[in-house]
Amino acid sequence: MGTTDRQDSGTSLWNVECHLALDVYAAATMVLQVSPASAAGAVLEDRFDVTVDGRPIPVRRLEGDHGGIVHVLHSPAGSMTVTVQATVERTPPAEAPESVSLDRDQLTYLRQSRYCPSDRLSAFAAHELGHLDPGPELLAAVGEWVADRLVYEEGSSGPLDSAVDSLFAGRGVCRDFAHLAITILRALGMPARLVAVYAPGLSPMDFHAVVEAHVDGRWWVLDPTRLAPRTSLVRVSTGRDAADTAFLSVLNGQAELRYSEVVAFTDGELPLDDHTGLVSLA
């Protein structure tokens, strides 16, 4: 199928790459979440290679939540490289069956979590936005509220900062914007979760964190940073907060990330997004 045919049918190709270099100082067990989720679309190319001192090492592939791909490996000491290359053929998201009553997912993503302590901000959230009932209007208002409250500033937060820390600091990166939005939404009774994505159009290019919130029987994507068009996003991992969606976790041993490069682009034009309407993520 050619480019024109794909565009006519509503499909498009998304190409993503990730290159990591690590110094492994002591044998380490690691978890990586860097491949496009199976729910993101039809994966036409899927390369995942790991070498230590130029020699390939075995990797175990597991199925994560919401179609996420989890790779687990045990590395000896040495110089590690990780290469991911994937081509995803995306189609417009299908209509999800309406879920009126609370299901397991909704209950999970209503609860507070490590980086999203919604109980601590419940009274504050009610004061700021409690006049709005859970629904599209509240979702849009929370996105606008967080975008106004926080300044995007690289290096302005640390790996242990919660939504409360970000609120007090008034600045952060994409995960901090997402954590604050999730916390406010949950405090106001709307299930919300964090999604790590590849984001064509993002500048500077990196892994990106956005929010999914449950409204009127469907999950809708919210990007409080306003940095990338939502319809261009490719899902990688989904969870309660950044603790569930980290692209690299060292479970034991000792390793340090020395270099990372993320690439994401599409074969067509990037869509425009004013971040006002409801958009769903594959």
Sorted by where each starts, the structural domains of the chain and their CATH numbers stand as 3-91+248-266 (2.60.40.2250), 104-243 (3.10.620.30)
216 vs 227: which has the higher pLDDT: 227
Please check whether residue 37 is in contact with residue 235, taking contact to mean a CB–CB distance below 8 angstroms: yes
Cα distance between residue 72 and residue 268, in whole Å: 34
pLDDT > 90? residue 98: no
Q: What is the pLDDT of residues 6-55, one digit of tens each?
A: 444 445 889 999 999 999 999 999 999 999 998 877 888 889 999 999 99
Query: What are the tokens at 248?
Result: 């690299």
Say whether 4 sits in a helix, a strand or coil: helix
pLDDT at 5: 44
Q: Is residue 100 predicted with pLDDT exceeding 70?
A: no
4-8, 46-50, 76-80, 84-88: which range is least confident on average?
A: 4-8
Pick left, alpha or beta for residue 192 (phi over 0 → left; psi -120 to 50 → alpha; otherwise beta): beta
Query: pLDDT value at position 12?
Result: 80
CA–CA dist 12, 88 (Å, integer)? 8
Look at residue 90 in the predicted model and tell me its pLDDT: 77
Residues 149-161: what's their mean pLDDT?
Answer: 95
Query: What are the strands, taking DSSP E only, across the chain?
Result: 12-32, 42-52, 55-56, 59-63, 69-75, 78-90, 151-152, 171-172, 192-198, 208-215, 218-222, 234-239, 248-266
Provide the 8-state DSSP code for 136: H
Q: What is the pLDDT of residues 245-278, one digit of tens each?
A: 999 999 999 999 999 999 999 888 888 899 999 9
- In this structure, are residues 226 and 147 in contact, taking their beta carbons and an 8 Å threshold? yes
- DSSP characters over 20-45: EEEEEEEEEEEEE--SPPGGGSEEEE
Question: CA–CA separation, 122 vs 117, rounded Å?
Answer: 9
Task: Grade residue 2 by pLDDT with cuts at 50, 70 and 90.
Answer: very low
